[in-house]
């Protein structure tokens, strides 16, 4: 029997795109070949100048192919030209950003974190000559995400940071965008050839079974994953159960709560003729419907005061949600999970539907859906039977939790699992603001004061992670320190200067 075919599917209809048979699912032989080719590329990647050149060459090739890549990604994800053009630009920037980090790797503050202690026999105990530096782990397995076909896929942050560290990469393509993945892998391989590196520096595998096979491979040294809690936890457990366990840096899911105080809802908004409640409502709806709610940083729960101020905010959210556009999700399975999850939550006691999510088919997009909003008193949300309200519902939906007093709000927050983000909306003069930020920082990796959490800057001070299940480690998958996931420190003792690694 031949290998299973991998097809490119149109998420608007759920049907394969004509004759777009992209590849064959990768069996054990194909996975082994990809990992071994990557492992053979390790010595060549030790040249930091060459790996920086690879990252810049990859950025140039992706930039030059932008029209074709955006068209392919839109056909497979329905995320739209504007969103995808911006995401590809971010991905190109990220590759250049890590190239710059490679250039500075050996400088003070660089990611090689070089430290030197001269010998001192007069100390107790005596100190030998020590030279400490960080070295690459080895081959890294990267699992592409469904919702970011560029920025968290074949050339995304996991790949860019691993290559910067000197680690070859084997990417497990996401089944929602196989053609886009193949095009990008080809561009990265061309970039490798251009700078004199082996094509095996970047490998690509397809198919469900290739994921566990990749994690089990004895030459794999680490894993970067962005995806569902269920799939991520299964792979995390597999990585830990290996004869030689390897680090698994997974981003698994997040509710990203928002706490709105009564003071934040008072008064006029910044726009002419708008109230603060209306302004916040429009910001919320814009955030949780961005990309049809398929951002890992989507605000999925909003704590709002009960009473007149909360009523006005809820009405403004309902009005704004009624104007939100419909759209399709990344695949039919996610659509079914979204609609079913929203319906189950809406059916719980004391839950009110502020804006009903549901199918919104058109002739061109028969699988389209409309966004939804639910509202529930905090006391009801705290019931054991209502735990689903405090869990992520992937897609364009959010839950308003109406709290009677600060103690109720704190009780809800204390029940939440680890999150990527948490946001506070209150005036800067609020005497409780600092204490509230400290509460949010207990369970979130990024705490916002004002604004909305969708969108993650590629920057030195960025942290994109959080306590489990937001991530499986304390590392970040975005920003400069993402490279640290793929390095390990080694101390060289009394080694002659000319023999030390540079």
pLDDT tens figures, 231-269 = 999 999 999 999 999 999 999 999 999 999 999 999 767
Q: How many domains does the chain have?
A: 2
- In this structure, are 413 and 330 located in the same domain? yes
Question: What CATH number is associated with residue 214?
Answer: 3.40.605.10
130 falls within a domain: no
Q: Are residues 244 and 262 in the same domain?
A: no
Residues linked to residue 372 through DSSP beta bridges, in sequence order = 397
Q: Give me the pLDDT at residue 1, please.
A: 40
Whether 146 and 262 share a structural domain: no
| Strand pairing class (130-136; 487-493) | antiparallel
Does any domain span residue 415? yes
Q: Is residue 128 assigned to a domain?
A: no
- Lowest mean pLDDT across 9-23, 95-109, 281-295, 299-313: 9-23
Cα-based distances in Å from 402 to 94, 262, 411, 491: 40, 11, 12, 55
Q: Which of 226, 168, 131, 166 is nearest to 40 (CA)?
A: 168
**pLDDT above 90 covers what percent of the chain?**
95
Whether 468 and 443 have beta carbons less than 8 Å apart is answered as no
Whether residue 427 sits in one domain with residue 303 = yes
60 among known catalytic residues: no
Domain co-membership, 220 together with 305? no
Catalytic residue among 251, 314, 392, 408: 251
Helix or strand holding residue 320 (H, E): helix 308-322
Q: Name the DSSP class of 151.
A: T
Q: What is the pLDDT of residues 382-435, one digit of tens each?
A: 999 999 999 999 999 999 999 999 999 999 999 999 999 999 999 999 999 999
Domain CATH for 307: 3.40.309.10
Same domain, 281 and 187: no
Does the residue 124 lie in any domain?
no
Task: Identify whether 110 is part of a domain.
Answer: no
Cβ-based neighbour number of residue 306 at 10 Å: 16
Q: Write the pLDDT tens digit of every residue in 435-457.
A: 999 999 999 999 999 999 998 99
Q: What is the pTM of this model?
A: 0.95
pLDDT for 72 equals 96
The pLDDT of residue 274 is 85
pLDDT score, position 3: 67
Same domain, 425 and 352: yes
Looking at the structure, tell me whether residues 247 and 261 fall in a common domain: no
Which range of residues forms the domain containing residue 33?
24-103+136-252+471-489
- Whether residue 422 lies inside any domain: the answer is yes
Residues 287 and 218 in one domain: no
Q: What is the pLDDT of residues 305-335, one digit of tens each?
A: 999 999 999 999 999 999 999 999 999 999 9
Burial (CB count <10 Å: 0-12, 13-18, 19+), residue 302: buried
Annotated catalytic residue within 296, 314, 392, 419: 296
The answer on 416 and 310 residing in a single domain is yes
Work out the percent of the chain whose per-residue pLDDT is above 70: 99
212/266 same-domain check: no
Active site residue 336: no
Alpha-helical runs (H) found in 360-425: 378-381, 406-414
Judge residue 371's burial from the number of C-beta atoms within 10 Å of its C-beta, 0-12 exposed, 13-18 middle, 19 or more buried: buried
Q: Are 133 and 501 in contact (CB under 8 A)?
A: yes
Contact 393/345 with Cβ under 8 angstroms? yes
Q: Is residue 122 part of a domain?
A: no
Res 273: pLDDT:
75
Q: 336: left (phi > 0), else alpha (psi -120 to 50), else beta?
A: alpha
Read off φ and ψ for residue 232, nearest 5 degrees: -65, -40
291 and 406 fall within a common domain? yes
Residue 126 lies in a domain: no
pLDDT at 139 (0 to 100): 98
């Amino acid at each position: 029997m031949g290998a299973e075919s991998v097809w490119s599917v149109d998420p608007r209809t759920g049907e394969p795109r004509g004759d777009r048979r992209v590849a064959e699912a990768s069996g054990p032989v194909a996975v082994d070949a990809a990992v071994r080719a990557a492992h053979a590329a390790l010595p060549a990647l030790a040249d930091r100048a060459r790996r920086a050149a690879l990252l810049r060459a990859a950025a140039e090739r992706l930039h030059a192919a932008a029209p074709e890549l955006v068209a392919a990604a839109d056909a497979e994800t329905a995320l739209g030209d504007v969103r995808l053009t911006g995401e590809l630009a971010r991905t190109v920037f990220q590759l250049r950003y890590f190239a710059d980090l490679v250039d500075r790797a050996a400088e003070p503050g660089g990611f090689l974190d070089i430290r030197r202690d001269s010998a001192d026999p007069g100390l107790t105990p005596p100190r030998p000559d020590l030279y400490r530096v960080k070295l690459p782990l080895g081959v890294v397995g990267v699992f592409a995400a469904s919702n970011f076909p560029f920025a968290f896929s074949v050339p995304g942050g996991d790949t860019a940071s691993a290559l910067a560290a000197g680690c070859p990469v084997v990417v497990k393509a996401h089944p929602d965008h196989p053609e886009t993945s193949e095009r990008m892998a080809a561009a990265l391989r061309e970039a490798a050839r251009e700078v004199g590196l082996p094509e095996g520096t970047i490998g690509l595998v397809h198919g469900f079974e290739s994921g566990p096979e990749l994690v089990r491979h004895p030459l794999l040294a680490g894993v970067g994953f962005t995806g569902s809690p269920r799939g991520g936890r299964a792979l995390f457990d597999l990585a830990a159960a290996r004869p030689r366990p390897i680090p698994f840096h997974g981003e698994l899911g997040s509710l990203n709560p928002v706490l709105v105080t009564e003071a934040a809802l008072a008064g006029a908004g910044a726009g002419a003729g708008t109230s603060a409640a209306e302004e916040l409502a429009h910001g919320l709806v814009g955030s949780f419907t961005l990309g049809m709610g398929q951002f890992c940083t989507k605000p999925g729960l909003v704590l709002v005061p009960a009473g007149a101020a909360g009523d006005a905010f809820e009405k403004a959210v309902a009005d704004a949600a009624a104007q939100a556009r419909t759209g399709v999700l990344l695949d039919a399975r996610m659509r079914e999970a979204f609609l079913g999850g929203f319906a189950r939550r809406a059916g719980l006691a004391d839950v009110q539907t502020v804006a009903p999510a549901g199918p919104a088919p058109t002739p061109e997009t028969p699988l389209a859906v409309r966004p939804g909003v639910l509202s529930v008193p905090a006391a009801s949300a705290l019931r054991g039977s209502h735990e689903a309200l405090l869990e992520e519902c992937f897609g364009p939906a959010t839950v308003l939790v109406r709290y009677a007093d600060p103690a109720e709000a704190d009780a809800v927050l204390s029940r939440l699992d680890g999150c990527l983000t948490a946001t506070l909306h209150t005036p800067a003069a609020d005497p409780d603001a600092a204490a509230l930020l400290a509460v949010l920082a207990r369970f979130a990796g990024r705490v916002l004061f004002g604004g909305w959490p969708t969108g993650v800057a590629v920057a030195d001070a960025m942290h994109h992670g959080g306590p489990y299940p937001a991530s499986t480690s304390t590392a970040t998958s975005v920003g400069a320190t993402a490279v640290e996931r793929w390095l390990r420190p080694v101390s060289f003792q009394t080694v002659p200067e000319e023999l030390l690694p540079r």
